[in-house]
Structure 1
Amino acid sequence: MSALPCGSWPSPISAADAARRDGAPNWPAALGEEVWWTEPRPQEGGRVALCRTRLDDPAARPETVLPAPWNARSRVHEYGGRPFVLVPGAAGAAVVFAEFTDQRLYRLDPGGEPRPLTPEPAAPAAVRYVEPVLAPGGGEVWCVCERRTGPRPTDVRRSIVAVPLAGCDGPDEVREVAAGHRFLACPRISPDGSRLSWIGWDHPDMPWDSTRLLVAPIGPDGRAGTPEEVAGGPEVSVVQAEWADDTTLYFVADPDGWWNPYRLSAAPGGGWHAPEPLARREEEFGGPLWQPGYTWLLPLPQGRLAAVHGRAATALGVLDTATGRLEDAATPHTEWLGRLAAAGADGRTVVGVAASAALAAEVVAVAPDGSWRSLSRPRPAGGADAPAAADASAGDERAAYLPEPRTVEFTGPGGREVHALLYPPRNPAAEPLPGELPPYVVWAHGGPTSRAPLVQDIEIAYFTSRGIGVVEVNYGGSTGFGRAYRERLRGNWGVVDVADCVAAAEGLVARGLADPRRLAIRGGSAGGWTSAAALAFTDAFRCAAILFPIVDLAGWRTGETHDFESHYLESLVGPWPQERRRYTERSPVNAADRISAPFVLMQGLEDEICPPAQCERLLARVRGVPHAYLAFEGEQHGFRRAETITAALHAELSLYAQVFGFATDAPKLELHS
């Protein structure tokens, strides 16, 4: 092992490795023994492919069903959601999916080509679909539909619609089933086809603030009757509901401050009994509904529920609804996403997406006997001799360069706890110079109502394998720690998040882990806001990587973002325009003259959530500070193309090298004052 300056350690993990990864699989679904999922493909222009395998064939390899250039991705809420549903076909499972380019629904039958089911809209991508479900009888799919009604991003109308599987000749054949709220999610039809349940909410609430669970009878015309509000309401967030049978509805809500599971039973004479809590625990059985289609809870035969639950880490458990006993699956995964599906002829196998610090995200099947195997990265049943990851396996020298993260807590202002994930530098061939402490980068996650999970991340390994530590901060406002923790940010965005990130940096220094002269901050979207605010309003960081950020609150609140988040700042900052002064004072764009630390700003030019105008406004006001601006054609909110991901990582590493004073293998980023 050689003593070398931190940051310059030789590493086999390249930016191209991070970009080449197909990314995390998503949205698993099953029809009998067939299991399908989506996979992002950075090397194919960032498109989303559909893949499948068979549960009853341990030797089956994953196959790509939807070839390029098809792109299974919805744009509802701009963030999209579950874009497909499986339907029985003549020769196996067929699939109905939303195509990204025009947002129409298409049907793909085995051995065929995709054919459109919905009509072409009057304006490109003006009618969008998400979270399709198969209606009883098999002749239709029902889903959430978002229609653009005018030129502004907030000119939209949403409803639940029915689409014939035979296809439509015109827009009148897409039948509206239910409406009534600005936002709709989780349409579910009872097994006998008599009732429809869904979740609705309105501005200024976000789905983690207040939502309503609604149930309505389905009339002979195939439309929902007058809905009854059965759960949720002010200060209660219902994030999922599933029918177990014709009269039993399971749902996840947080009336006691934590997203826990409940059962709702129909009363014999009409109406509903009071909801029954099934597991009152100070942990989460749900999460923020950023995308329609999440499934943290899955009804199983014999009165059982599969459930994703936890706090800093999550597990897959099976809950006995009669006894309340919760038994976790014995797998090595430390993070299960809210993406569950029932598979197999008897519907007793649970399929989900899971990961850990040693295992990249994969589609996993857990059998009733507790054995498990990966479906997207096949390995022996039960996980025996499992490689560390497909692109950093036990037989690959890169596995030894992956960080070994752990959860940590820091003390924030007023003595409050701040949760974080620590990724120390790791390289089997290098160590710091005598007396040297490594530089550290504080990562601020997006959302901000989100959470950084403890999972393998090759982008993090790109830095830690070179001798740069990373700490991901689940600052106040993050999910996973109850409503009280996430509401610390209410009215305090730009204050609590920044202070918690500074507390993490100072905590690392106090523990003798980080060089106090070499601290940076990095984040995208809401994390970009936190990073920019930290530069403008503190002197804690020597530099920053700011990706597709919000920097001007007033501009964002008054028409520069999409409808879904257009009123988000009402809770994060305060009522508009009553708190106009707060919007002005907190915005980094209005404090650009205070920024003295170098930074790189990176932005997708097709971003409709945090548009380029925000970055351009900040850049016009920065004076005398070394910085670089990278604007990427063809990228939206978040980078999906391999060449973009590679360029962004190179730029970030070069910035750190220039500011912290070490040599690097990344191309030099030109900084301008």
Structure 2
Amino acid sequence: MIKAPYGSWNSPITSDLIVAGSIGLNEIRLDGDAVYWVEGRPQEQGRNVIVRVDGDARIDVTQKPFSARTRVHEYGGGAWTVDNGVIYFSNFSDGVLYRQKGNAKPEALTPAPAEKGKGWRFADGIIDRKRNLWIGVGEDHTAGNAHPENYIVAVDLANAPSAPRIIARGHDFYASPKLSPDGEHLVYLWWDHPNMPWNGTTLESVALDASGAPQGEPRTIAGGVAESIFQPEWLPDGSGVLFVSDKSGWWNFYTYDLATAKTRAICPKDTEFGLPQWVFGLSTYAFVDAQRIVCTYSEGGLGKLATLDLAGGTLAPIALPYSAFGSIRANQNTVVFRAGASDKPVSFVRLELASGEHTVLAKATELADRPQIAACLSMAEPIEYPTENGLAAFALFYPPKNAEYEAPAGEQPPLVVMVHGGPTSAAQSALSLGIQYWTSRGIAVLDVNYGGSTGFGRAYRDRLHLSWGVVDVDDCVNGAKYLAAQGRVDGGRCVITGGSAGGYTTLAALAFRDFFQGGGSHYGVSDAAALAADTHKFESRYMDWLIGPYPQEAALYRERSPIHHVDKLDKPVIFFQGDEDMVVPPNQTEMMVDALRAKGNAVGYFLFAGEQHGFRKAGNIQRALDAELYFYAFEVFRTGLKY
């Protein structure tokens, strides 16, 4: 082995390999026995392609220039569905809903916008075969205002193209429309400002007439302003609805009986069976038969897969070599899902429940199969550590690893603290080549699940209430201090980095705490007040919960905004931003960059054309990875890294 300082190791995990050999695997679906999924391809400028499995072949269903992606709620998800071999998808460039039969040219189901950006957007669709309708979430941007109207809508499939017809209205947001097996009733979720869907949602049922119009008043099934409901699904016999609620303090399963209007808890457990609904199309469970589901849940920051008997409430874990699961779909004995582990990339997997055998259908990257790279993969270690007010926080720690290198005796590695976005999200344990990019060079990584993160119950999530910029910052600092006190990292060479809300925590940590020696902000918030005043509808009242109502709490917003405390920030910072970002507009980042440059700070700034909130183009992803590494190596770590 080569003896060399931490941070100076040569790594086979290069940025060009990462982007050249990686795709995004998002939603997988079953249509009878046929399997479909969506691939996000950086090499095609981030185009989202629906793929069908045909024997051993993978066939692209959506051809260029079509891209199955939506911007409903800005974050999208649920842009497509498949029914009886026919694909229905929202196209990213025009927002139009399309239908595609086999290899035929896609047919527009809704009119094209009269002006770019001033049309309808669609998501979370299902097919009503009885009435020949597409039913889903519609977001009306025809007026071109920043706060469009949201509805449950129907699109007539027999008379294309046709304008959407509104089924449910009157609330700020809608999601998860599901038809009963007989097609007579529709359930869906709604919520109003200032709530986000993980704060409080309402599950409602309404009868539909022969045309698909609401018949009578909707019936409230569950939820409210302080109860979050997730993924309602009809019981296979149509007698009621299965859903996930956090009314116990944990996202657990409940059934609602239509005849008796009674709710019953299924398998009460201090475990999370639900997720924050940042995007549409999330699925943590699916029916195997009338009385059994397969589901995923989170414990200690790691995911598990199990079957759950609805009658007896028995949870039976399934042994698989994965620690992160999502997009669960089932069809009798077959289950398909997205899965990954620290040494296994995000993959689409088919599981036969009877035999327990699983088959990998697709991988986000094949790089982990290369022996030289596999030998460098660092495994996530879930850690729990003390933080403020006598509480504990959680994180995933990745120590440096490279089969060809060892560090000199007595040396501790530099540390990169990673802050996930959201902030109501969670660190994921699936293979991240972005994390391994650092660890294989001799740089440790701490992926923090600070207070406010999901996966640890509602009380943990609620720690961030009115405390954004405080609790998250403290938990990041205390995680790094904990590792330094254990002798696992060099406390004098620690940086912090994050995207979106994680970028805000990064800048707040650098401005308000004297611990980290530098950081990186990826499309991060620097001015909380500007975010409250100049962001999209979905998040426009989120700040009420995170900090307080604006402008009533303007002084507190100023106190929490790094842009107003540049005098306290004297560490090197690098910034990355998309020029089409509607969540964190470029002017926020540029105000921070200009202010730091004016006071002589070491600053890097990359503005990527054609990118929104998050980067999807291969060249930009590669450039951001390398730039951040070299910036820290030169400005903070002093590792002797070769350029």
TM-score (norm 2): 0.96
2:380 aligned residue: 405
User: Offset at 1:642?
Assistant: 0.5
| Residue type of the alignment partner of 1:101 | S
Q: State the alpha-carbon separation in 2 of the partners of residues 399 and 63 from structure 1.
A: 29
Q: Which range moves more in the overlay, 162-171 or 533-542?
A: 162-171
Whichever residue aligns with residue 361 of structure 1, its letter is V
Partner of 1:530: 505
Work out the CA distance in 1 between the residues paired with 2:33 and 2:316.
25
The answer on whether the counterparts of 1:22 and 1:39 sit within 8 Å (CA) in structure 2 is no
**Residues 1:286 and 2:274 are matched in the alignment:** yes
Contact 1:449 1:486 in 2 (8 A): yes
Cα distance in structure 1, aligned partners of 2:131 and 2:206: 20
- With 128-137 and 597-606 compared, the bigger mean Cα shift is at 128-137
Structure 1 position 566 matched with structure 2 position 555: no
Which amino acid letter does the alignment assign opposite residue 322 of structure 2? Answer: H
Gaps of 5+ in 2: none
Instruction: State the partner residue of 2:309.
Output: 320
- Matched to 1:501, the amino acid is C
Of 70, 93, 97, 1:74 maps to: 70
Residue of structure 2 equivalent to 1:251: 243
- In the alignment, structure 1 residue 631 sits paired with structure 2 residue 622: no
1:154-303 equivalences under 5 Å are 154=147, 156-171=148-163, 174-225=164-215, 226-244=217-235, 245-267=237-259, 272-303=260-291
Once the two structures are TM-superposed, the CA of residue 665 in structure 1 deviates from its matched residue by 4.3
2:619 maps to amino acid: E
Work out the CA distance in 2 between the residues paired with 1:81 and 1:389: 21
- Check if 1:662 corresponds to 2:639: yes
**Aligned partner of 1:322: which letter?**
A
Corresponding residue of 1:384: none
User: Alignment partner of 1:644: what SS?
Assistant: helix
Distance 2:161 2:302 in 1: 48
Alpha-carbon distance change, 130 to 440 in structure 1, aligned in 2, over 3 angstroms: same
Distance 1:138 1:351, change over 3 A: farther
Matched, 1:653 2:629: yes
Q: For residue 593 of structure 1, give the secondary structure of its aligned residue in structure 2.
A: helix
Match of 2:456 among 477, 481, 495: 481
Structure 1 unmatched ranges of 5 or more:
379-387, 667-673
CA-CA distance at 1:67 after TM superposition: 2.6
Deviations 1:294-324 (CA, angstroms, capped at 9, x unpaired): 1112223131122111221111211111111
| Structure-2 separation of matches of 1:206 and 1:138 | 33
> In structure 2, what is the equivalent of residue 385 of structure 1?
none
CA apart distance, 1:167? 4.8
How far apart in 2 are the matches of 1:36 and 1:665? 44
Specify the alignment match of 1:383 in structure 2.
Answer: none
- Give me the whole-angstrom Cα distance separating, in 1, the residues matched to 2:502 and 2:355: 38
Q: C-alpha deviations, 1:428-472, integer Å up to 9, x for none? A: 111112322110010010000000011210011111100011000
- 1:148 pairs, out of 133, 136, 141, with 141
Q: 1:123 aligns with which of 112, 115, 119?
A: 115
Equivalent position amino acid for 1:654 in 2: Y
* Counterpart-to-counterpart distance in 2, 1:285 and 1:168: 39
Q: How far apart, CA to CA, are the structure 2 residues paired with 1:224 and 1:305?
A: 30
Partner of 1:17: 17
Partner of 1:605: 579
Classify 1:7/1:417 alpha carbon distance in 2 versus 1 (closer, same or farther; 3 Å). same
The structural deviation recorded for 1:74 is 0.8
How many Å apart are 1:620 and its aligned residue?
A: 2.6
Deviations 1:586-621 (A, max 9, x none): 000100121100010110001001110111121232
Is the partner of 1:25 in helix, strand or coil?
strand
Partner of 2:324: 335
Distance 1:619 1:12 in 2: 33
Q: Residue 87 of structure 1: CA displacement?
A: 1.9
SS at match of 2:242: strand
Mapped contact 1:3–1:434 kept (Cα < 8 A): no
Match for residue 376 of structure 1 among 351, 361, 377: 361
Match of 1:361 among 346, 356, 359: 346
Cα offset, 1:170, TM superposition? 4.0
Equivalent position amino acid for 2:137 in 1: V
How far apart, in 1, do the equivalents of 2:150 and 2:144 lie?
16
**In structure 2, what residue type is equivalent to 1:233?**
G
Q: How many residues align?
A: 636
1:288–1:479 CA contact under 8 A, matched in 2: yes
In the aligned structure 2, how far is the partner of 1:26 from the partner of 1:565? Answer: 23
Alpha-carbon distance between aligned partners in 2 of 1:131 and 1:21, rounded to the nearest angstrom: 30
Question: Conserved in 2, the CA contact under 8 Å of 1:362 and 1:374?
Answer: no
Counterpart mapping for 1:382-393 below 5 A: 390-393=366-369
2:32 and 2:288 mapped to 1: Cα distance? 14
Counterparts of residues 448-487 of structure 1 (less than 5 Å): 448-487=423-462
Contact 1:136 1:191 in 2 (8 A): no
- Structure 1 residue 389 displacement after superposition: 6.2
Specify whether residues 420 and 143 from structure 1 end up closer, same or farther in structure 2 by C-alpha distance, changes over 3 A only.
same
| Identity percentage of aligned residues | 39
Partners of 2:37 and 2:52 within 8 A in 1? yes
Structure number with the higher strand fraction is 2
1:447 to 419, 422, 432: 422
- Separation (CA, whole Å) in 1 of partners of 2:410 and 2:288: 57
2:465 maps to a residue whose letter is: R
- Amino acid in structure 1 at the alignment position of 2:618: A
Distance 1:543 1:175, change over 3 A: same
TM-score computed with the length of structure 1 as normaliser:
0.92
- Once residues 563 and 513 of structure 1 are traced to their aligned partners in structure 2, the CA distance between those partners, rounded to angstroms, is 43
1:62 to 58, 63, 66: 58
| Residue pair 1:94, 1:109 contacting (<8 A) in 2 also | yes
Query: What is the identity, as a one-letter code, of the residue corresponding to 2:425?
Result: S
Distance in 1 (CA, whole Å) between partners of 2:603 and 2:396 is 28
Partner AA of 1:127 in structure 2: W
Alpha-carbon distance in 2 for matches of 1:511, 1:389: 34
Kindly provide the CA deviation profile for residues 374-418 of structure 1, in whole angstroms up to 9, marking residues without a partner as x: 35338xxxxxxxxx962221x431111111221011110122111
Structure 2 counterpart of 1:381:
none
Distance 1:74 1:32 in 2: 25
Contact in 2 for aligned 1:593/1:621 (Cα 8 Å): no
Give me the whole-angstrom Cα distance separating, in 2, the residues matched to 1:429 and 1:170.
62
Structure 1: how far apart are the matches of 2:359 and 2:619? 29
2:616 aligned to which of 613, 635, 640: 640
CA distance in 2, matches of 1:138, 1:12: 56
Mapped contact 2:4–2:405 kept (Cα < 8 A) = yes
Aligned match of 1:554: 529
Conserved 8 A contact 1:195-1:218:
yes
Q: Check the 8 A contact 2:577/2:608 in 1, yes or no.
A: yes
Q: Residues 244-298 of structure 1, C-alpha deviation per residue, up to 9 Å, x if partnerless?
A: 132211000111110001011111xxxx422100110000010101112211122
Distance 2:281 2:465 in 1: 26
CA shift in 2, pair 1:353/1:240, >3 Å: same
Q: 2:446 is paired with a residue of what secondary structure?
A: strand
- The two structures, once aligned, show a CA RMSD in angstroms of 1.5
Q: Distance in 1 between matches of 2:338 and 2:24?
A: 8
> Are the equivalent residues in 2 in contact too, given 1:103–1:127 (CA < 8 A)?
yes
For the 8 Å contact 1:279–1:324, the answer to whether it is kept is yes
Mapped partners of 1:201, 1:370: distance in 2: 42
